[in-house]
A and B are shown apart, each in its own frame.
Chain A
Amino acid sequence: MSQLALVIDLNVCVGCHACVTSCKEWNTSGTAGYLADMNPFSKDPTGTFFNRVQTFEVGNFPNTETVHFPKSCLHCEDPPCVPVCPTGASYKREADGIVLVDYDKCIGCKYCSWACPYGVRELDEHQKVMKKCTLCVDRIYDESLPENERKPACVMACPTNARLFGDVNDPDSEAAQAIRERGGYQLMPEWGTRPANHYLPRRKTRITIHEDELIRADNPLYKERQLPMPDADDPTLDETTSW
């Protein structure tokens, strides 16, 4: 069975928030109604978002690293938000593993948001129903879009290609390959939610060079002194010719 998901590459995310704004733009324009913003132009504005980019600092100065960390619903394979829902409004699709909320059934009790360990569900203050990332279910199957645009809005917007989209259960998909080959991992494995979204870690390319790799300490002929040793102040043969 397929399980669509995002794979987010922390190694190249630059924290530009393009995925945040494109997600908001796409999802606030959809048929399911807008993502409400309350007090947008006055004190304490607040709004519904499906995706956020946060920033963390890892390590002690001067050995610190800044990590930009995008966070949206992880479309868990064992989603704790689904069984707790009293109305069945929260559900996981059999066919592609997307976790969705039926806005016409949701009573706004917020219980699913308590059960999700990741804090990715938000109650829409205007519509009074629970909302969350839909994996752009209204884009990815839309045949009126050109085929290369049938991807989530956030994936399309990312300038560094830090967001990969695909079926993580299909071993040949770009997403599954990235997880396999580039150390993809899941958030909070301790709660057994088996998130479908994975993160690719930061990487550093380092090579280790030892001192004896810089001087020819292991030249066997030199070592065994089979050839006449030149005087100390004579030019060595190494400098003029080679053995």
Chain B
Amino acid sequence: MHPAFSVIFLTTLIGAGQGLFLALYTGQLYSVFKVLPVQDSADFYALGSLIAVLLLLAGLFSSFFHLGHPERAWRSAACWRTSWLSREVLTLPTFMGAVAVYGLIHYLGWNPVLYSFRDTFDIDLSLVIGAGASLLGFTLFLCTGMIYACIKQLQEWATPLTVVNYTLLGSASGFLLATAFAAWQGSELTEFFGGWAILMTVIAFITRTASLIRNARIKYKTSLETAIGIRHARIEQKSQGFMCGSFNTREYFHGAPQHIFRLIKWSFLVLVFPIPLLLVSIGLSANALGLLIAAFLVQYLGLLLERWFFFAQANHPQNLYYQTVG
């Protein structure tokens, strides 16, 4: 497939936003159970949520460039019963709204304790809203992944690993951002977030590599034989029926030479996994904010390449019909 920059930015930006929110909420959850110290509402949770919302907004903004008619985008909420794209379109603004409310509650201090458990654990309003928002965050990962995983004939995508990778890569990037954010705030949560970021990056490395290995061994179900319905081992296209390009030759071929394609694969493998791991480990032990920020930025750059590769690697069966100009 031809990678579209709008979708590359959409999926990487909202992934980081979702991950960042999940990190903030995990921190709050731990503090309720007195495992971690409580953070300042306005400075920490509200500002963190604001950053998450900005990332989500940027993703939403970039998605409009993918549409032929962005002014009709509201129509895409209609078919949530059947379409994962429609489900994503509904979940994204809902999640964004929930994160905004969560941040606002913290900022304004409208955070009444709803229920007190044995006078030690206080369940306040933000905790409840945050739980709902987390659920929406995970739903959003599911929707984004399923948009690709549900297309049967794009065999590189049609695997549960697609959903797993979107979730883990987004979370890893968000937790890395949370690490840098916490370090900037001088919060004690830096190491907690950093630990999770390292763990998720390592697991994501395993699952992303698993999908690369799987995709390298794919047996395509479609061949020219089934595409034109003639049983013969040697079929060769002599003409695709037109000389210049068409939607079919633009939308489904990435067009990059083989060595660039391979270079991008190795670049993302290096930029998303080992370098950020190294930077964040050194950054945590040396308590160096710059290194933590660099870790997030390097990984984000790597994720842009990862997403490019994700699209470029998918081989649409329609390409069999467009092999020779004539």
Do the beta carbons of A17 and B76 come within 8 Å of each other? no
B72 close to chain A: CB less than 8 A: yes
Q: How far is the CB of A203 from chain B (nearest CB, A)?
A: 12
B residues 4-32 with Cβ under 8 Å of A?
none
Do the beta carbons of A85 and B226 come within 8 Å of each other? no
Do the beta carbons of B246 and A84 come within 8 Å of each other? no
- A46–B318 Cα distance when bound, in Å, is 18
Q: How many A-B residue pairs lie within 8 Å, measured between CB atoms?
A: 170
Do the beta carbons of B318 and A107 come within 8 Å of each other? no
Chain A interface, number of residues (Cβ within 8 angstroms) = 60
- A47–B250 Cα distance when bound, in Å, is 12
In the complex, residue of chain A having the shortest beta-carbon distance to the beta carbon of B249: A46
In the complex, residue of chain B having the shortest beta-carbon distance to the beta carbon of A70: B241
Q: Out of A54, A107, A117, which one reaches B241, CB within 8 Å? A: A54
Do the beta carbons of A185 and B229 come within 8 Å of each other? yes
Q: Out of A105, A188, A192, which one reaches B227, CB within 8 Å? A: A188
Q: Contacts A44-B244, A49-B246, A119-B321: A109 and B239 contacting too (C-beta < 8 A)?
A: no
Do the beta carbons of A84 and B84 come within 8 Å of each other? yes
Q: How far is the CB of A162 from chain B (nearest CB, A)?
A: 15
A80 close to chain B: CB less than 8 A: yes
Q: Out of A107, A122, A199, which one reaches B248, CB within 8 Å? A: A122
Do the beta carbons of B75 and A105 come within 8 Å of each other? yes
A74-107 vs B: 1/0 string, CB under 8 Å?
Answer: 0000001001111111000000000000000111
Q: How far is the CB of A83 from chain B (nearest CB, A)?
A: 4
Do the beta carbons of A56 and B251 come within 8 Å of each other? no
B186-205 vs A: 1/0 string, CB under 8 Å?
Answer: 00000000000000000000
Do the beta carbons of A54 and B234 come within 8 Å of each other? no
Do the beta carbons of B69 and A129 come within 8 Å of each other? yes
Do the beta carbons of A107 and B70 come within 8 Å of each other? yes
Do the beta carbons of B78 and A87 come within 8 Å of each other? yes
Q: Contacts A67-B230, A191-B152: A109 and B76 contacting too (C-beta < 8 A)?
A: yes
B residues 68-87 with Cβ under 8 Å of A?
68-70, 72-73, 75-79, 82-86
Do the beta carbons of B226 and A87 come within 8 Å of each other? no
Do the beta carbons of B75 and A87 come within 8 Å of each other? yes
Residues in B with CB closer than 8 Å to A202 are: 230
**Contact size class for B?**
35 or more
Do the beta carbons of B244 and A83 come within 8 Å of each other? no
B211-236 vs A: 1/0 string, CB under 8 Å?
Answer: 00000000001101011111010111
A177-214 vs B: 1/0 string, CB under 8 Å?
Answer: 00000000111111110000001011000000000000
In the complex, residue of chain A having the shortest beta-carbon distance to the beta carbon of B2: A110
Do the beta carbons of B69 and A66 come within 8 Å of each other? no
B142-177 vs A: 1/0 string, CB under 8 Å?
Answer: 000001001111100000000000000000000000
B240 close to chain A: CB less than 8 A: yes
Residues in B with CB closer than 8 Å to A3 are: none
Do the beta carbons of B151 and A115 come within 8 Å of each other? yes
Q: Contacts A58-B232, A86-B76, A88-B79: A129 and B226 contacting too (C-beta < 8 A)?
A: no
B residues 86-101 with Cβ under 8 Å of A?
86, 89
- A106–B78 Cα distance when bound, in Å, is 12
**Most chain B beta-carbon neighbours within 10 Å: one of A69, A127, A187, A188:** A188
Q: Contacts A87-B76, A87-B79, A201-B230: A57 and B236 contacting too (C-beta < 8 A)?
A: yes
Do the beta carbons of A109 and B67 come within 8 Å of each other? yes
Do the beta carbons of A119 and B230 come within 8 Å of each other? no
Residues in B with CB closer than 8 Å to A17 are: 241
B residues 235-262 with Cβ under 8 Å of A?
235-242, 244-248, 251-252
**27 pairs across A/B with beta carbons < 8 Å?**
A47-B246, A52-B242, A54-B321, A55-B239, A55-B326, A56-B235, A56-B238, A57-B237, A59-B234, A66-B238, A86-B83, A86-B85, A87-B72, A87-B75, A87-B76, A88-B75, A106-B69, A107-B70, A108-B69, A109-B66, A109-B68, A114-B1, A114-B154, A114-B316, A117-B318, A119-B248, A129-B69
Instruction: Give chain A's interface residues, CB within 8 Å of chain B.
Output: 17, 20, 44-49, 52-60, 66-67, 69, 71, 80, 83-89, 105-111, 113-119, 121-123, 127-129, 185-192, 199, 201-202
In order of increasing CB-CB distance, the 10 nearest A-B pairs are A108-B68, A119-B318, A128-B68, A86-B76, A86-B86, A83-B82, A52-B241, A122-B247, A87-B75, A55-B239
